[in-house]
Every structure is written in C-alpha cells, then in structure tokens.
Amino acid sequence: MSLEQYARERAAFRTRVIEHKRARQLQVGPNTTWSFEDRLTIQYQIQEMLRVERIFEPEGIAEELASYNPLIPDGRNWKVTLLIEFAQPEERRAQLGRLRGIEGRCWVQVAGHARVAAIADEDLPRENEEKTSAVHFLRFELDPAMIGSLRAGAALGAGIDHEHYRHCADPVPAAVRTALLADLD
C-alpha cells in the first residue's frame, strides 16, 4: 500500500494482523515465543517499516522487500521469529550468556518422522563470544512425507533442546497446527 493508503487503513489492518498472529504464536517454555511468519505478517512488518522510515521511492521499497521477503514460507517450510524473553535486564543479560547456541537447538517433529532441526540466522550471525541475541530467525524444511502426514492429521511437536533450556510444546495446539498447515499449500 502507498503511505497514504496505509495511513487510512492502518488501524483496521493492524487489528487484522494481531488477530491473525494469535494462531501463529507458540510458547516453548516460559521464556521463548516462536512467531511463525507468513505473507500477511511480513506485509505488516514491511508496511510499518515504510511508514516509520517514510520510504516511498521505488528503490527504497524494493530494498525493504528484498530484506523481508525471505521470511515468507515457500510452501515446504516454516519461517519463525524466535524471541527470547526475560523481563529483568540483569536476568536477560545473564540468560543470553547462558543460552548461546539456542537457535540451533530448536526443532519441530511430525508424529512418525524424525525431528527437523532449525536452520538459523541465515541473514547474519546473531551471537558473539559473550551472548546470543534475544531475536533469531529460523527455518524448518519439511519433506513431502512429513507434509502428507500433517495433512492426514499427524500431530506436530516443537521444542528446544539446549543444555540450559529444555522445553517443548508437544503437541502443538490445534489452532497453531491448523495455521501452519495452511503455509504448506
């Protein structure tokens, strides 16, 4: 949308996206949220970025699209924004130090199939010698047999198997599973 159109439609669009995201968020343990991205969630992020930065030139819009479009699933994978959440700054700092490598320890599993490990942070490294980032971008690639099993009703699990953070959502709630199944069309 143009900046003018988005200004007119922003409130309604934002409400629609917030509702849409509810079925696309998964708590994995007490301190991580997985936000499964799709075309609508990424469109919202792009629109907000264009609005905040007042980008309206075609070249600037193209740059934003090039940055964000890789976060849209392609029909055989899921793209996830992993948020590591600790409310207190001191605790957050300490935990991000302990949780280095957590992004590579995330997994999904379709019942009857092997776990699929996350491919993390393909755009740029998000940790250093001291700590990991509070935000990571994950990709989970599914093979046709897994997709077929999901379509046939197989359960889906998700989790993190890090030495300092072992939690899972197994099974993934039905509303989230249904939303994710739509990404595989």
Q: Where are the alpha helices (DSSP H) in 23-173?
A: 39-53, 58-68, 89-98, 144-151
Question: For 122-131, how does the pLDDT look when each residue is reduced to its tens digit (9 = 90+)?
Answer: 665 566 677 8
Under-50 pLDDT residues of the chain: none
Q: What angle do CA 184, 82, 135 make, to 5 degrees?
A: 140
Q: Which residue segment(s) compose the domain that 98 sits in?
A: 3-182
This prediction has a pTM of 0.88
CA dist 33 and 82 (Å) reads 6
Write down the pLDDT at residue 99.
95
Q: How many domains does the chain have?
A: 1
Beta pairing partners, 37: 79
pLDDT tens, 139-175? 999 999 999 999 999 999 999 999 999 999 999 999 9
Q: Which CA distances in Å does 165 have to 1, 11, 17, 32, 128?
A: 41, 37, 30, 10, 19
Please, are residues 18 and 35 in contact by the beta-carbon 8 Å criterion?
no
What tokens does 2 get? 């143009």
